[in-house]
Structure 1
């Protein structure tokens, strides 16, 4: 890559950001296509977010990703949002459009693509159990409802938070039944026997933790499991699913697919198939 005065700058803001795989996969795709862009990580503390976005404007940065903890906090500093980003209440991709900074959310698109490619699952008509009620759950809910899921049950430690999320999305998606339960027995045990797809949207599994009340033996052999966590590669949930012979996938496909969509938003070009994923897998030693 040769940096010149004509090189367009992309990046990612978050805290911390040194662990991000996005610079690896985005620069790999940019180089493969011969595009004169460079993608740079920017470590931005919470108290510096406003200054950072103003700096992006002043420096002419053409686009950037947004990661934890800024996905919702960045919204007041943007000029407008895409429909999905407004509905989810979070932004993971920003593009300069004229004088405006426009916020998008590509997580839902990435999630659906990974479901279809990595699990062979089409959510249309499916009965789904969603673990968690945070930001990742919101993006999954939007995507699954838009894909015509028949029924989604949100299982969360705080039933009140889960029910508030369900009530909010029932107003937007009348075609999908949405309910909420507590993340404990016997409610989860009852629901898990009925589902086609189990989705973990929480951080449980990142440090070897597991869901104590989740018994995968109750799942139908035809059911599938998707864990948005991708580090470690095999979370306790994935290991349990593999042991039982269930179809399962971690979140690496979602990470790649959301990045591919962001690339398309910024450059107007579809990245070469497989380039981003191969770069990430190589970095992870897979």
Structure 2
């Protein structure tokens, strides 16, 4: 994509971006507020991280979003981290200020907005199961801890990685019991009890996730429980995982809410997530 000299360039950095709705969202916002900006995709390999960061500086790219699998891996290349990215150990938004790159994590805002505005759930004193231990899981764990639940169980195929995000995510003054389990032992009664929320942050193979959900459904699902899938589109949980008589929300609203927060970081303009959500939903519906 070629931009004029005065036009500001933004984009999203990720490994596989065919499904991404971020260009749709941000180019809509740029048009809406009559900004001479454009937003594109930067699909890279692991070996190109240093190169893309160098390009942001040398080409004066004004900002970028970061998605799977680089939310943690980009951090060493940045000049500064704000409090949100320091707390989560993950970055999903970069702002370029005269060659100095600052990392932010607006996933926190997206998760909080979804819990409050879409799921309308009170998690204080409740039990939560979090699937996954990547960059999105870090932000999710931080926000869930702030909700003051009784217990959070982090389940991942790599048990050591689940333990790692727990050890690095501690919020002072909080007494939530947080423990890691191997996802294959997810139905172990020693760890599991009546769940109020299942939060899925992993993009694991759909057939594998279907098996995990079926295991849980036998003994742990109840009508008051809710599922929050941080993924959207083809990366969301398959339809077979949504057939149970419980409330299911995918990650589309989270995406629009975190995009609103990122847009404000770049431009200083506040926009309501609901406005973006309505626009994107209409576009998806055709």
Which TM bucket (shorter chain)? 0.7 to 0.9
Distance 1:186 1:75 in 2: 32
- Which moved further from structure 2: 168-177 or 99-108? 168-177
Is the Cα–Cα contact under 8 Å of residues 210 and 241 in structure 2 kept in the other structure?
A: no
* Counterparts in 2 of 1:283 and 1:80: CA distance versus 1, 3 Å: same
Q: Residues 73-88 of structure 1 correspond to what in structure 2 (within 5 A)?
A: 73-88=73-88
Is the Cα–Cα contact under 8 Å of residues 10 and 39 in structure 2 kept in the other structure?
A: yes
- Which moved further from structure 2: 247-256 or 166-175? 166-175
Partner of 1:225: 227
**In the TM superposition, what is the alpha-carbon distance from 1:21 to its structure 2 partner?**
1.1
Partner of 2:249: 249
Is the Cα–Cα contact under 8 Å of residues 186 and 192 in structure 2 kept in the other structure?
A: no
**In the TM superposition, what is the alpha-carbon distance from 1:276 to its structure 2 partner?**
2.7
**In the TM superposition, what is the alpha-carbon distance from 1:112 to its structure 2 partner?**
1.5
Is the Cα–Cα contact under 8 Å of residues 133 and 154 in structure 1 kept in the other structure?
A: yes
- Which moved further from structure 2: 70-79 or 187-196? 187-196
| Larger RCO, structure (CA 8 Å, separation 6 or more) | 1
**In the TM superposition, what is the alpha-carbon distance from 1:266 to its structure 2 partner?**
0.6
Is the Cα–Cα contact under 8 Å of residues 25 and 275 in structure 1 kept in the other structure?
A: no
Partner of 1:58: 58
Matched position secondary structure for 2:232: coil
* Counterparts in 2 of 1:119 and 1:7: CA distance versus 1, 3 Å: same
Distance 1:159 1:45 in 2: 26
Matched position secondary structure for 1:169: coil
Is the Cα–Cα contact under 8 Å of residues 10 and 62 in structure 1 kept in the other structure?
A: yes
- Which moved further from structure 2: 112-121 or 207-216? 207-216
Distance 2:52 2:186 in 1: 47
Distance 2:66 2:77 in 1: 12
What is the TM-score normalised by the length of structure 2?
0.86
* Counterparts in 2 of 1:121 and 1:216: CA distance versus 1, 3 Å: farther
Unpaired runs of 5+ in structure 2?
none
Partner of 2:157: 157
* Counterparts in 2 of 1:188 and 1:98: CA distance versus 1, 3 Å: farther
Unpaired runs of 5+ in structure 1?
none
**In the TM superposition, what is the alpha-carbon distance from 1:146 to its structure 2 partner?**
2.6
Provide Cα deviations, 1:71-95, integer angstroms capped at 9, x if missing partner. 2221121101012212322211001
Partner of 2:106: 106
Distance 1:75 1:233 in 2: 25
Residue 38 (structure 1) aligned with residue 60 (structure 2):
no
* Counterparts in 2 of 1:274 and 1:166: CA distance versus 1, 3 Å: closer
